[in-house]
Amino acid sequence: MGRRRKERISLEKVEILDIGSEGKAVAKVDDMVIFVRNAVPGDIADLRVTKKKKSFMEAEPTNFHKLSEKRVEPFCDHFGLCGGCKWQMLDYQDQVAYKQKQVMDQLERIAKVELPECKTILPSENTQYYRNKLEFTFSTKRWLTGNELEEENPENTALGFHLPGKWNRILSIDHCYLQGGPSNDIRLKTLEFARANDLTFYDQVEQTGFMRNLIIRSAVTGDLMVIVQFAEHGEENIKLVMEFLKNEFPEITSLMYVVNTKGNDTFGDLDVQCYHGEPYITEEMEGLKFRVGPKSFYQTNSEQAYELYKATRELAGLTGEERVYDLYTGTGTIAQFVAKQAKEVIGIEYVEAAIEDAKKNASLNGIENTKFFAGDMKDILTRDFIAEHGAPDVIITDPPRAGMHEDVVKQIMAVEPKKVVYVSCNPATQARDINWMDSKYKVVEIQPVDMFPHTHHVENIVLLERR
């Protein structure tokens, strides 16, 4: 006997009320919460339920009876298919308002502590072409749209982004509004060149093919890095591609490649070859220079990173007498940004290569009051380490999305610095950590920062002071 098909639930003329976590719109029907994709508060739509649980449902619109006044016309032809810029249909002023509301909702619901009034979110001056890094994937499985589905022999090779929910399907991108400069031209001409020269494209299922990934990184200084990932060895074809890029785009200051035969696209454990130019690009902020290598992390919105760091430094309120610990320091950008206002800054980061970059950048900038250490945060930040290097007056922490390890929070509580400035890309885990610290620290300032326009992602800075 065959499996019984579940009956699809349809809901008519449902009003969209709000926006919740992860950027999904929220509606209610008979006290049941419904999370709706591709909708805006104020829309009235018929919904098709895609998932049903005891306490909530997920749905997508099938027909709109009324469009919200908050809606604007999306600017990108790929909107609705591409996984980026999902809030294009929402006016930017409303985007930042909902992001600020999201921050406060999560702090109130998860942290459950007394909170001050939230400062107005810092919007991004540029809402298009604001990213300094994009990664594109070559594929033999291009997502076909519209009339292409009826073509007898459609072009199946692609260079673009993964389609949401379909890891092995790539949407070829005609024009991307995320990265400026020659980014679009480099992508399109590389695609054309690979097709014209019969270079094989990567098959994500079979894990075969030659052309795998194209990464483009830019800097405010005008430096430009291009990294090509090849999935097979082959000196002749590698040279063919790299010579094309070198000659076609003389503005590339760092041209690199990596041969990656692994089952995933990460290359942190692989050797990256510098084919032409320097093995890094240089970012600049307040006269400080930061060398960014192919494996280095740097905030992907350079101009808004400056606003984030300025707000962090302001909340720290340094006078020049403080010893600062910068946890999860990465390549030491925040550490060096605040070093002039501190007596000493000690940066800790688990990625050893990043710490080497931090040391080189400090030397490049002539900064002598910083020290950097590599290792797992919970293993390094111990009583012995603090006894050797001195207790911090201020801790700045900028952990990954998962937040801080509970052992790290306990050690901060034991050390009892006067202030903790907590920078987070995930207000939910930030709120959890604040809850853990509530017995000794109170929240005195909250400053959201929008780093990623047209997405639901938001950065948040919280200043905690010792009770």
Q: Decide: 217 and 132 in contact? Cβ < 8 Å.
A: yes
Residues 312, 313, 317, 318: is their CA dihedral positive or negative? positive
Q: Is the dihedral of CA 424, 426, 431, 434 positive or negative?
A: negative
Distance CA 376, CA 352 (A): 10
In this structure, what are the phi and psi dihedrals at residue 39, rounded to the nearest 5 degrees? Answer: -135, 160
**Catalytic annotation, pick one of 76, 82, 176, 425:** 425
Gap between the Cα atoms of 416 and 327, Å rounded: 15
Nearest of 94, 109, 126 to residue 19 by alpha carbon:
94
Question: Is 425 one of the annotated active-site residues of the chain?
Answer: yes
Active site residues: 425
